[in-house]
């Protein structure tokens, strides 16, 4: 498939195509039916905790040449309950370089009787932009929906893809969903000995190593999995893809529409990408003149880059282009200059050309984009990317840091990568080939939420409050999206829906960009009415001053934990809350200070009575980014429990005698 197309997961949420009642299909023959895939044949242990069981997942990859491979799949899934229902449908994408030879299907009842055989007219065929919003694409998807109104039932799918794009070999990870048990799965790869297979085994159970044979100039590699119980995603665990067995495949040499390359090293893979786009960075004279005028008084390379980036944001827009080789080969920079649009490759190539015209060297870089996209496996070179950005190394005489530019956004802050492409690796495309480098790291100093909250109580127990929150780094990413993509009404609704307060009215609300600084930020201002906030109980009033920043406790582990402890983001949350008391009340008791320091982070809270009688509460929580052994999970649960208890602590006010 094209490099910059998101693959559809097998359980992609697509429109319901058909629902077949158990009695709705006529028998295909009058002889005694042949029973297949009876639910009773599934081992009892595999049904425990499972929503579905993968009865068979047999995949065969046949490498015909450096430019062609064939991938066949036979897949059988028994859906045990409604939570596994999405697995009763299957979608296969295809395009000009990846032909879908056939897609077949059948559905069986609990006893294994054939209910229905999929007819061609029941398969929906649509352009993938119906689901992804791509603007120019030849990618299409065929979907077969065999879900049934009653469970259990079993679906069977067979399909074959013939690919003239050997840049991608299919990966194999049969246990792709939570609650999916595996009865049996296999992968067989056959390739000419002159095109040895590159593969990486991940999380394979003992005894599942590759079996390799050679005969007649062909090499065959085989893997088998059997009887894998369903996996339940645990709290604070790595993504499921990092936990279940997988084999990742990649070519050594490949060819795409006559363009030959090698993927054995990052250097060679990057060289293919660089050569594919060489010479496509020529700008028209009018654009060169515009750049010269734009940067003529710029004092340094960084200022030049900023001006060019602002010009880019003000004069271009993003579209996605996925047409054959266009998945990797960019539009010429001259085309972007004249049309004002392009995909991530084209806009990045255009930006690089603009920078070069200004005398600022830069590189296009491949990166895996998305807040949930895994970092590349540095020890397994190949196509692990879905996005393109620009890297601008700053000269030592100027700022020593490297500058990164996201070229597809009209609103992203200059030099900021954030959750989308930060904290991972990218592949620079240089004349000497690919170079794997780190994108900007965002940790505790960058990812901050700083809040000032003032609460004004009245004698009846109601209150009003004002809150100002500054978020920077990755803490501001969602709020920047709200600010730039939604109107005030939608923004207010989102904030209202996510305030965890029992009874309140949001009387004022505003989101705005923070003043310019080293990192982008968003300022949120709220005004709240809090009726019945702290009703008196006799002469006393009980108040929890932590209105907006409580961290919930986590459940204790039930049974033996299976996965590592995963803390994906470092952050700092700092809160200052001031309680303004009504006349006739004074503090009777304030909670003791709390100080926690662990391998997971730190927490501190303290209270003070100010000279004017206001009670001040200060809270500071630092969370680390880490992957730790599963044995550390109980300690993390204890850390969260203590934080939750401290966050619920109450100040006690007492009414003074008149």
DSSP per position, 428-444: EEETTEEEEEEPPP--T
Helices (H), 405-534: 418-421, 477-485, 488-498
Is residue 382 within 8 A of residue 262, CB to CB? The reply is: no
Q: How many CB atoms lie within 10 A of CB 159?
A: 20
Match 């000279």 to its residue by tokens: 611
Mean of pLDDT values over 317-331: 74
Q: Where are the domains of the chain?
A: 39-256, 265-438, 448-655
Match 């597809």 to its residue by tokens: 408
Please report the pLDDT score of residue 133 as a whole number. 45
- H or E segment and range at residue 539: none
Report the C-alpha gap between 98 and 327 in whole angstroms.
13
Please report the pLDDT score of residue 323 as a whole number. 55
What are 573's strand-pairing partners?
449, 621
Is residue 398 within 8 A of residue 419, CB to CB? The reply is: no
Virtual torsion, Cα 396, 401, 407, 413, nearest 10 deg: -130
Spacing of C-alpha 44 from chain mean position: 35
Residue 145's closest CA among 100, 105, 102? 105
Report the C-alpha gap between 511 and 505 in whole angstroms.
17
The domains spanning 39-256 and 265-438 adopt the same CATH topology:
no
- Report the percent of the chain where pLDDT is more than 70: 91
Which one-letter DSSP state was computed for residue 347?
A: H
Mean of pLDDT values over 259-272: 96
Structure tokens given for 199:
């593969």
Report the C-alpha gap between 493 and 566 in whole angstroms.
32
pLDDT in tens, 329-372: 898 999 999 999 999 999 999 999 999 999 999 999 999 999 98
pLDDT in tens, 37-49: 999 999 999 999 9
Structure tokens given for 578:
């001031």
Report the C-alpha gap between 340 and 334 in whole angstroms.
10
Distances (CA, A) of 13 to 6, 16, 230, 457, 651: 14, 9, 22, 48, 48
pTM for the model: 0.89
Parallel/antiparallel/unpaired status of strands 180-192 and 114-117: unpaired
Strand, helix or coil for residue 129: helix
Residue 402's closest CA among 411, 410, 393? 393
Parallel/antiparallel/unpaired status of strands 317-318 and 341-342: parallel
Angle between helix 344-357 and 301-315 (nearest 10) = 140
Structure tokens given for 184:
């049996």
Report the C-alpha gap between 413 and 179 in whole angstroms.
41
Considering all CA atoms of the chain, what is the largest pairwise distance in Å, rounded to the nearest integer? 102
**φ, ψ at 161 (rounded to 5°):** -115, 135
Parallel/antiparallel/unpaired status of strands 626-628 and 259-262: unpaired
Report the C-alpha gap between 440 and 598 in whole angstroms.
26
Is residue 493 within 8 A of residue 438, CB to CB? The reply is: no
Phi-psi region of 41 (alpha: psi -120 to 50; beta: other; left: phi over 0): alpha
pLDDT in tens, 409-453: 999 999 999 999 999 999 999 999 999 999 999 999 999 999 999
Spacing of C-alpha 385 from chain mean position: 13
Residues in the chain: 658
Is residue 612 within 8 A of residue 619, CB to CB? The reply is: no
- Report the percent of the chain where pLDDT is more than 90: 85
Which one-letter DSSP state was computed for residue 431?
A: T
Please report the pLDDT score of residue 517 as a whole number. 87
Contacts of 317 (CB under 8 A, 6+ apart): 340, 341, 410
Mean of pLDDT values over 167-195: 96
Q: Does 265-438 carry CATH code 3.50.50.60?
A: no
Mean pLDDT, rounded, of the chain: 91
The sign of the dihedral angle between the CA atoms of 604, 608, 612, 615 is positive
pLDDT in tens, 279-305: 999 999 999 999 999 999 999 999 999
pLDDT in tens, 51-68: 999 999 999 999 999 999
Quick one: pLDDT band at residue 8, thresholds 50, 70, 90? very low
Rg (CA), the chain: 29
Q: Would you report the helix, strand and coil content of the chain in percent, each value rounded to 5?
A: 20, 35, 40
Fold of 39-256: Immunoglobulin-like (2.60.40)
What's the CATH architecture for 448-655? Answer: Sandwich (2.60)
Q: Inform me whether the pLDDT recorded for 473 exceeds 80.
A: yes
Contacts of 493 (CB under 8 A, 6+ apart): none
Distances (CA, A) of 292 to 61, 136, 286, 405, 436: 53, 33, 10, 20, 32
């Amino acid at each position: 498939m094209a490099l910059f197309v998101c693959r559809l997961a097998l359980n992609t949420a697509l429109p319901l195509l058909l629902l077949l009642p158990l009695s709705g299909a006529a028998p295909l023959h009058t002889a005694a039916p042949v029973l297949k895939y009876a639910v009773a044949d599934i081992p009892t242990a595999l049904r425990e905790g499972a929503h579905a069981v993968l009865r068979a997942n047999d995949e065969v990859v046949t490498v015909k040449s450096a430019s062609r491979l064939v991938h066949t799949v036979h897949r059988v899934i028994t859906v045990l309950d409604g939570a596994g229902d999405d697995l009763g449908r299957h979608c296969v994408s295809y395009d000009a370089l990846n032909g879908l030879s056939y897609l077949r299907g059948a559905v069986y009842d609990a006893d294994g009787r054939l209910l229905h055989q999929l007819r061609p007219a029941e398969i929906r065929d649509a352009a993938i932009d119906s689901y992804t919003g791509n603007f120019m694409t030849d990618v299409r998807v065929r979907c077969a929906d065999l879900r049934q109104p009653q469970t259990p039932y079993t679906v069977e799918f067979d399909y074959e893809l013939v690919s003239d794009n050997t840049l991608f070999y299919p990966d194999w990870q049969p246990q792709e969903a939570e609650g999916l048990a595996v009865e049996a799965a296999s992968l067989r790869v056959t390739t000419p000995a002159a095109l040895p297979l590159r593969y990486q085994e991940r999380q394979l159970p003992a005894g599942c190593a590759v079996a390799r044979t050679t005969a007649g100039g062909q090499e065959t590699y085989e893997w088998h999995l059997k009887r894998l119980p369903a996996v339940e995603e645990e709290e604070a665990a790595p993504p499921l893809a990092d936990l279940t067995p997988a084999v990742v495949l990649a070519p050594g040499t490949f060819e795409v529409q006559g363009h030959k390359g090698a993927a054995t090293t990052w250097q060679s893979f990057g060289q293919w990408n660089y050569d594919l786009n060489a010479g496509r960075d020529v700008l028209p004279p009018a654009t060169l003149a515009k750049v010269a005028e734009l940067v003529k008084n710029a004092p340094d390379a960084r200022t030049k880059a900023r001006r060019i980036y602002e010009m880019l944001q003000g004069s271009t827009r993003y579209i996605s282009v996925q047409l054959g080789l266009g998945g990797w080969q960019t539009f010429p920079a001259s085309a972007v200059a004249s049309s004002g649009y392009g995909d991530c490759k084209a806009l990045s190539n255009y930006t690089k050309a603009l920078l070069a015209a200004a005398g600022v060297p830069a590189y296009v870089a491949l990166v895996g984009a998305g807040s949930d996209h895994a970092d590349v496996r540095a020890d397994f070179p190949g196509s692990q990317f879905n996005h393109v950005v620009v890297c601008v190394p700053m000269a030592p005489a100027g700022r020593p840091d490297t500058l990164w530019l996201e070229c597809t956004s009209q609103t992203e802050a200059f030099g900021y990568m954030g959750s989308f492409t930060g904290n991972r690796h990218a592949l620079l495309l240089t004349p000497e080939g690919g170079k794997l480098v780190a994108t900007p790291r965002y940790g505790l100093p960058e990812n901050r939420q700083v809040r000032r909250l003032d609460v004004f109580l009245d004698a009846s127990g109601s209150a009003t409050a004002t809150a100002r929150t500054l978020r920077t780094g990755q803490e501001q990413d969602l709020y920047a999206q709200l600010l730039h993509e939604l109107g005030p009404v939608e923004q207010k609704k989102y904030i209202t829906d996510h305030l965890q307060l029992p009874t309140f009215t949001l009387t004022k609300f505003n989101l705005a960009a923070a003043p310019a600084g080293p990192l982008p930020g968003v300022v949120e201002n709220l005004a709240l009415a809090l009726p019945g906030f702290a009703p008196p109980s006799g002469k006393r009033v009980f108040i929890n001053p932590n209105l907006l920043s409580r961290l919930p406790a986590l459940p204790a582990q039930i049974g033996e934990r299976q996965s590592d402890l995963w803390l994906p983001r470092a952050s700092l949350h700092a809160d200052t809350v001031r309680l303004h008391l009504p006349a006739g009340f004074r503090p009777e008791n304030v909670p003791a200070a709390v100080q926690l320091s662990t391998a997971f982070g730190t927490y501190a809270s303290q209270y003070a009575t100010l000279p004017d009688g206001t009670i001040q509460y200060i809270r500071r929580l630092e969370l680390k980014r880490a992957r730790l052994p599963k044995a550390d999970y109980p300690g993390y649960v204890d850390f969260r429990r203590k934080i939750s208890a401290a966050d619920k602590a109450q100040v006690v006010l007492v009414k003074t005698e008149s």
